[in-house]
Each structure stands twice: as C-alpha cells, then as structure tokens.
Amino acid sequence: MRARLLLWVGLLIGWTGWAAEGDGPGWFPFDPELDGFADSPIDLRFLNEKTAGEQGAITVKNGHFVHSANGEAVRFWAVNGPPHDLAEGELRRAARVLAKYGVNLARVHGALFDADGEVDLTKVRRAQAVVAAMKQEGIYTHFSIYFPLWFTPKADLPWLAGYDGKKHPFAALQFNPKFQEKYRSWWQALLTTPNPATGKTLVEDPAVFGLELQNEDSFFFWTFSEENIPDPQLRLLEKRFGDWLAAKHGSVAAALESWPGASVKRDAPAEGRAGFRPLWAMFNDKTARDQETAAFLLELQTKFFTDTIAYLRQLGFKGPITAGNWYTASPETLGPLEKLSYTAGDFIDRHGYFSCNHKGPDSAWSIRANHTYSDRSALRFDAEDPAKPRQFVHPVMDPHYDGKPSMISETTFTRPNRFRSEAPLYFAAYGAMQDSDAIVHFSFDGARWRVKPQFWMQPWTLMTPAMMGQFPAAALIYRRGLVAPGAVVAEVDLNRADLLRLRGTPLPQDAALDELRLKDVPQNSGELKPGQRLDPLLHYAGRTVVRFTNGPGAVRINQGETLCNRATQTVTSSTGELKLNYGKGALIINAPQAQGVSGALNTIRNTKLADLEIDSELELGHLIAVSLDGQPLATAGRILLQAMSEEMASDFATQAAGDNVKRILNLGRDPWIVKNLSGTVTFHRADAGQLKVTPLDLNGYPLATMGNAQTIKLKPNVVYYLISK
C-alpha cells in the first residue's frame, strides 16, 4: 500500500524512475532487542580500564598518548557524543554500549555558555555527569567548548563590541583580550566547579583526557575576512598589526613604503592601523606584504594558543591540550602555517569528512526529501563530483607533525552514500598502519539502533549497522594494533622562514590531487621544486613525517614510490599487510591476527590469505576475521568473523537525477535494513575441522552452532560468528 501510494504521488508531481532501494527480497532487518549486556564475544568492555583514569591521567611521551602511571601507550577509538539530552539512565546505557563496541574516548562537543556568553551552570553539571557515566565504563572524556557558530553576540556587548545579533565571532577570540577573558571564565567554570555529589572538580579527575582550545576557526580560513568581522573588531586587529609593523619598520607608514603598490583601502597609517589583503590574494601573489601579514597572523594565533595553555596549566589541568583542528584556504601554502601554530599544543588535531555530493537546502546538517547525492567509494578514490576523475585525498591520510601525537576529532563517511560501510575497516586498518593516535567518529546520537525518522535526518548517524555494527572487529584492529605500523616512507623538513615566504609544503593535507595531475608527481623527488607535490598514495604505503626546522628544507622518500603502482592501480603497505586495489575498489587485509577483504568482493574472488580463503559474489561487502585471544589466527582459540554489506532505512527511495546522481524521494523509516550477506570462508589450519563455528545474533549472543571452520558458508542475516576450539 505504501509503495503504491508513493507511485501515485510520483505520477502526480512528475517523478519518474523512482525505486524503493530495498524493495523485494535480498535485505534483512537490523532491529535487535534492547541489549541486556550478558556475556558476548563482541563485548569489548575488557579493553577498557575498570574506571577511566585508574592508570593515571593521559599524557604524551615519545609522540604517543600514554597512561601516566605505567607509561603504556594507548590509542583512542572514539566518538563525538553522547547527545546532550540523555536522561541519567539512558546516559549510563549509552556509556555501556560504547564500551561494548570498543570505544574508549568521548569528545564532548558543546557550549558551556548561554545566549549572552555567560557561564551556564546547568551545562557544567551536565558535563560532570557525562564524565562520571563514561568513567564507570573506562571511557575518557575530551572537551570541546567553543565553536564560533554556537555564539551570535548581541549588539554592543562590552567585551565584544560591534556585533548585531546576526554574525558569529570568527577569529575574534584570537585577538580580542576582553573576549579571551570571558572565554577563560568558561574553562574555569568547567574545570574548577565542585561536583555536588562528590565535591571533586574535573581538573583533578584523570578521566578527563584532554581539552581543545577552539573548534573550526582560524586566521587562515575563508571566514577571516572583512565581511565576517565587524568594524570595531577589525580596527582592534588592524591596530595590533600596525603596532607589530611599527616595531619592525619604525612606523606603519614606513612599512607601506617598503611595499610599493600594495596598499589596501583600510590602511590608516595616521591611526597606526594596517589592513589585510584577502587570503586568496595572499596565497596566490605572495608579495612582501603578504609574507609579513602571514608572519603576524601566525605569531598572534600562536600567542593565543600559548597563553591559553599557560592559563589552563595554572588552573591545574595536567592532561593533553590541543590548539585547534581546522583546515585552511590553501592546504599547500597556508596549511603548514596552521599546523605550525598547533605545535604550541601537546598533540595535533584535525577534521575531515568523506562526503557524497549531497546537495539541497540545509544539506550541511540534514538529509531531506528532494535532496540529491552520489554514491561514492573511498576504496576507488571516487571524486565527490561523479563527472570528475579520481581524487587522491581522504581524511585517513595522516602525516605526523613534529613528533606529536595525531588525532582526527571529527570524521565519518556521510549518509546516504551506500559505500558508507567501507568506513570502519578503512579507518581502523589505515589508522593503525599510519600509527594514528585517536580516531573520533562523528556522531554518536543515541544508544539505540534507530533511523530516527523525521522530515529530516542527520548525515552522520553512528548507531547504524554499517558503522557501529562493524566496530567490534575495527576497534580490535585499531586499538590492539592487529595491523602493524608501516615504515616511514616520506620525511619532509619544512624550513620556518620558507613557510613565512609562503613557499608551502609538498605534502599538503586535505588537498585533492586528481589522477590527471598524479602523473606529474616527480618520482625519486628528493629535490622538489616549489609547487611540486609528493604522491598522496604514500599515505597508504606507510607513515609520513613532517618536521618544522630552522635548517634547510628537505624531502626524503624511503621506498614509498616502489609500493605505489599506478600501472596496476594498487598500493601495498610497507609491512605487506594491506593491499589496496583502487582500480577495483577492494582492500585486502593480511596480518597475523586480522585477515579479510573489503569493498567490491566480486572483483577479487577466491582471495587466499595467510590462514584462510574468502570467496564472495558481493558487489559491496566486508568480511574480516580477527583474533580475540591475542594469538595469531594460525593458532588462536577464539576468533571473531564479522560480515557486513550495505545499510539503508526501510522504504528509502530515490530516482535518477543525472549521471551517478540520485534524488531522495522518501527518507525511510525504522528499522535499518542490511543487504543479504553471502560467501564462504575457509580456514587453512590443520585443526580447522575441530574449530566450532557459532553464529551470533545482532547483539552478539550465541545461536545454534553450525559446524566447523573448514568451510563456513555465510548466512544471509548473520553479522557475527564466534570460531572457537
């Protein structure tokens, strides 16, 4: 009846070629009962401490996060969340669910202030409750409390003049002392307000992992412009620039004289002010004025970070602090300056999403009927625009800067991309191989498997079969290092003076390089010329290291180019454990404790791995076996076999809207559905016939056994199997 009604509506308003994507046989509902948290092979609560912080606060040592009490390194498989509106009982349930699925860090991302910018103690109490609930499940908390989009200053605030209740205060926090004073009061309230239940403060709680100074703001991003900064604030910044120039040149007028023909309309030398050229002009023209402007902005941004960190240390906070996480208007030229400013902190953070050409009103934060999108594979390096060639860029590409730990504090494959199911194993395998320190998935919006149908839906929902449903094996791979770190395949030394001359980096982050330009990447490129690029495929071969230096700039490639085979469209990791065939869109994982295949499985039939063989006709699937007892798969007594295909909301419907573009007709409803699984897994162990295979239900609890591991024929609706002696 529902499908017939949609058809009539479509005929009335001119829809053609619509389809309910999951119509007919071939899909099963992913709708488990509410979890009672009995003993389960997929329950990873044991990976966490009994309570977060029992081994001391997290600190930094030798470029990694470690427990301060025992010096053991720790990686964080993390989420953004939990939702701000969970009642106490549901908050505790959410923490238990996260621990079960391998999560050991929650990034609490939200304002602590009201519409007037004053501390909201209700939000502080909420933060304390989240820390307490997460702590009991061995999950640390990371605080992000300021994002310019959360604040729209009212007219004539005494500490932030010039706003009108319509603009956000982009960049203002970095240069306005009065705003900085107010901002510090938010941190003071969060960290030093005693919890009424315990009398303790968060500053003394080792379960608080770390602090983030600001979210998605920078002098080097497009939001730094005259259009976004009101005149009183811009005058304040221009005066600071003028004072800086006067200290260097003797006066603003003298500075202008040294830049012939480079004046801008807001220059006011008689008032001691100097204006700013647009960022686009700066990174394209790179004039003497642009270079000095970049030096000033870098110095001021770094000073904000350094001064704020000193304040937080004065309050008594001992954990890691990160400066920011944003990208820039020019990854090649301004990107390394942004990263250089972040070295004021204890670790380097960033954001990155793998999006899906999603367009329509409010598509930045919602999915709605009549929006359009494209299905896009990361394993193939599909460009977001399906009309364009492959683009070699992805959030998982993770250079390490100045020997500091690396976090990506917001990342996901956005919905409704059918290839979203690539994400968990992709992040886990390449995060482990690149020795990343924290991967924070966006966004955990509740502990129940619900589509949450409304007239719009989130593009980021994590509590779905393709995402959280694949966390058990993915979290084990990443947190236990079942895929080994690769060799350092590229080392880049960036001279600080050259960066201020706007000469940029040959290894820009977040900068796409399509396959037409990839052929122009120089091989054996130890002597790169300005503007040349390193092959971004190096990130799939091993680790990349960037250092900021006062010595000569240099580039060293260590075997990396031999692992990136453009002729066969493959990249093999330096360890040999990962092989990506981006021509076919398939990843092979072949490590002692983790073996499997991901992507277009019908293109890599009968894949022989070290200890097993996989064959599947799935056009999109992910089959992985991981050791549960710390032993190689060749001898392990407990193994998790995990399977996934693709997910969808029930009744989700689209129509063609161009080449590889779909228009959404129906957002769908509960429950989630998953495309039927199929294939065989054959273990090549002498004792394979004695290994018992137990399918598990969708919560991970045993069903009736189904024979031995000599040949396992996958059931269409089983995601997890326990293989045991």
* C-beta separation of 654 from 453 below 8 A: no
Task: Check whether residue 538 and residue 648 sit in a common domain.
Answer: no
Residue 2 pLDDT greater than 70, yes or no: no
| Stretch among 52-56, 234-238, 514-518 having the lowest mean pLDDT | 514-518
Both 634 and 649 in a single domain? yes
Is there a contact between 558 and 487 (Cβ–Cβ < 8 Å)? yes
Q: Are 332 and 319 in contact (CB under 8 A)?
A: no
pLDDT at 519 over 80: no
Q: Which residue has the tokens 């309230």?
A: 189
**697 has pLDDT over 80:** yes
Task: Return the SS3 of 577.
Answer: coil
Whether residue 586 is contained in a domain is answered as: yes
pLDDT given at position 429: 98
- pLDDT reported for residue 61: 98
Which residues does 470 contact at the CB level (< 8 Å), separation at least 6?
Answer: 421, 424, 425, 622, 642, 644
**Is there a contact between 590 and 579 (Cβ–Cβ < 8 Å)?**
yes
**In terms of C-beta density within 10 A (0-12 exposed, 13-18 middle, 19 or more buried), how is residue 238 classed?**
buried
Q: Is 530 in the same domain as 657?
A: no
Identify whether residues 720 and 595 lie together within a single domain.
yes
Give domain status of residue 711, yes or no: yes
In tens, the pLDDT along 429-479 reads 999 999 999 999 999 999 999 998 788 999 999 999 999 999 999 999 999
Q: Helix or strand or coil: residue 64?
A: strand
* Residue 253 forms part of a structural domain: no
Yes or no: say if 646 and 617 are a contact pair by the CB < 8 Å rule. Answer: no
Q: State which of 565, 583, 610 marks the end of a domain.
A: 565
* pLDDT per position as a tens digit, 125-179: 999 999 999 999 999 999 999 999 999 999 989 999 999 999 999 999 999 999 9
Query: Cα–Cα distances in Å, from 305 out to 107, 302, 312?
Result: 20, 5, 11
- Residue 422 pLDDT more than 60? yes
Mean pLDDT of 625-649: 98
Among left, alpha and beta (phi > 0; psi -120 to 50; other), residue 597 is beta
Whether residue 598 lies inside any domain: the answer is yes
Residue 353 has pLDDT above 50, yes or no: yes
Range of the domain at 545: 488-565
Instruction: Report the alpha-carbon distance of residue 564 to residue 543 in Å, rounded.
Output: 14
> Which of the listed residues 513, 540, 565 is the one where a domain comes to its end?
565
Whether 536 is in a domain gets the answer yes
Nearest in space to 347 (alpha carbons), one of 398, 396, 423: 398
Residues 581 and 683 in one domain: yes
Single-letter residue type at 66: V
Same domain, 586 and 678: yes
Within a domain: 82: no
Q: Nearest CA to 639 among 622, 651, 621, 625?
A: 625
Among the ranges 3-17, 103-117, 504-518, which has the highest mean pLDDT value?
103-117
Please say if the pLDDT value at position 528 is more than 70: no
Percent of the chain with pLDDT over 90: 91
pLDDT band at 530 (very low <50, low <70, confident <90, very high): low
Q: Are residues 656 and 633 in the same domain?
A: yes
Examine the domain organization and report whether 547 and 595 are in the same domain: no
| ω into 416 cis (within 30 of 0) | yes
Reply yes or no on whether the pLDDT at 187 is more than 90. yes
Q: What is the pLDDT of residue 674?
A: 98
Domain tally, the chain? 2
Lookup: tokens for 569: 């469209």
Enumerate helices (H) and strands (E) in the chain, giving the number of each: 14, 36
Crossing angle of helices 88-100 and 121-135, in 10° steps, is 40
Q: Does 502 map to a domain? A: yes
Would you say residue 102 has pLDDT above 60?
yes
The whole-number pLDDT of residue 241 equals 98
Looking at the predicted structure, is the pLDDT value of residue 50 above 50?
A: yes
Lowest mean pLDDT among 85-89, 297-301, 597-601: 85-89
Reading the block at residue 384, the tokens are: 């977001």
Let me know whether 709 and 583 are in one domain: yes
The last residue of one of the domains, among 565, 597, 625, is 565
Q: Are residues 540 and 669 in the same domain?
A: no
- For 545-586, the pLDDT digits (tens) are 999 999 999 999 998 778 999 999 999 999 999 999 999 999
667 and 574, same structural domain? yes
Query: Which of the residue ranges 13-27, 69-83, 194-208, 575-589 would you say has the lowest mean pLDDT?
Result: 13-27
Residue 526 pLDDT grade (very low, low, confident, very high; cuts 50, 70, 90):
low
Label residues 135-166 b or e (16+ Cβ within 10 Å = b): bbbbbbbbbbbbbbeebebeeebeebbbbeee
To the nearest whole percent, how much of the chain has pLDDT over 70? 94
Same domain, 555 and 612: no
Give the pLDDT of residue 16.
35
Distance CA 272, CA 570 (A): 58
593 belongs to a structural domain: yes
